[in-house]
């Protein structure tokens, strides 16, 4: 089955630790995105990548880092510099030529304890 897989579904982290969220897609999509969702709010863009080895900051990139070494994978690292990392994180991808974020993963809920 084609789709976007985010793992893990739930993640707990101690303050001061970096943590990496996985996002893998087998849809052959060029563009991939990371969003953060907080209760009662819409999605906010953290980073996006249009092609391999290239990525751009979104509105709230501070405290986060990404890499895009392979077309299928776009991992997000939440660093200790992110002041309020507890949130629901969503990865998305879109095919070539499309101008919409068409497909989302199931999300990772990160809780800092």
Binding site for other proteins (CB under 8 A): 4, 6, 40-45, 48, 58-60, 90, 92, 99-107, 109
- Assigned token pair, 46: 């953290």
CB of 7 to other proteins, least distance (A): 13
Cα–Cα distance, 104 to 90 (Å, whole number): 7
CB of 109 to other proteins, least distance (A): 8
Closer residue to other proteins (CB): 80 or 107: 107
Closer residue to other proteins (CB): 45 or 52: 45
């Amino acid at each position: 089955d084609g789709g976007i897989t985010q793992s893990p579904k739930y993640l707990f982290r101690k303050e001061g630790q970096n943590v990496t969220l996985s996002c893998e897609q087998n849809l052959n999509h060029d563009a991939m995105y990371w969003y953060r969702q907080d209760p009662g709010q819409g999605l906010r863009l953290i980073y996006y990548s249009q092609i391999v080895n290239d990525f751009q900051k979104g509105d709230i990139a501070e405290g986060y880092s990404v890499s895009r070494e392979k077309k299928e994978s776009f991992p997000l690292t939440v660093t200790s510099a992110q002041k309020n990392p507890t949130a629901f994180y969503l990865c998305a991808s879109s095919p070539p030529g499309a101008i919409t974020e068409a497909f989302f993963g199931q999300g990772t809920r990160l809780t800092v304890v």
